[in-house]
Amino acid sequence: QSALTQPASVSGSPGLSITISCTGTSSDVGGYNYVSWYQQRPGTAPKLMIYDVSNRPSGVSNRFSGSKSGNTASLTISGLQAEDEADYYCNSFTSSNTWVFGGGTKLTVL
């Protein structure tokens, strides 16, 4: 049950776009369309941003989008805003009927 691989940090200027990658294996990310993404601000619980690779829950801005190719999933945030600054975690269902998270990516809005 190794953690999915995410970059430790990414940054971008307001109004621009960033992409966070999440790399797993054929036993998790590559094997299922069950990748979700969570936003976590300091001292708060994670918030669901994307589920099933590319679906947005009600209330989540359409500036957030998800995709997947092979064993790598991606979260793209367009039109960056200061409020997007947070930690982001990917998550995948696995062939062991468990879940695994990525190590997390700290997004800094410059």
Partner 1 sequence: EVQLVESGGGLEQPGGSLRLSCAISGFIFSSHGMSWVRQAPGKGLEWISYISPSGSTIYYADSVKGRFTISRDNARNSVSLQMNSLRAEDTAVYYCARRVPYYNYMDVWGRGTTVTVSS
Counting contacts by CB under 8 A, is residue 9 touching partner 1? Answer: no
Counting contacts by CB under 8 A, is residue 52 touching partner 1? Answer: yes
Please report how close the Cβ of residue 14 comes to partner 1 at its closest, in angstroms: 26
Place of tokens 């801005």: 61
Counting contacts by CB under 8 A, is residue 42 touching partner 1? Answer: no
Counting contacts by CB under 8 A, is residue 101 touching partner 1? Answer: yes
Nearer to partner 1, 13 or 99 (CB): 99
DSSP string, the chain: -PPBB--SEEEE-TTS-EEEEEE--TTTTTT-S-EEEEEE-TTS--EEEEBTTTBPPTTS-TTEEEEEETTEEEEEE-S--GGG-EEEEEEEE-TTS-EEEB--EEEEE-
Counting contacts by CB under 8 A, is residue 31 touching partner 1? Answer: no
Counting contacts by CB under 8 A, is residue 60 touching partner 1? Answer: no
Binds partner 1 by CB under 8 A, chosen from 36, 39, 71, 74: 36
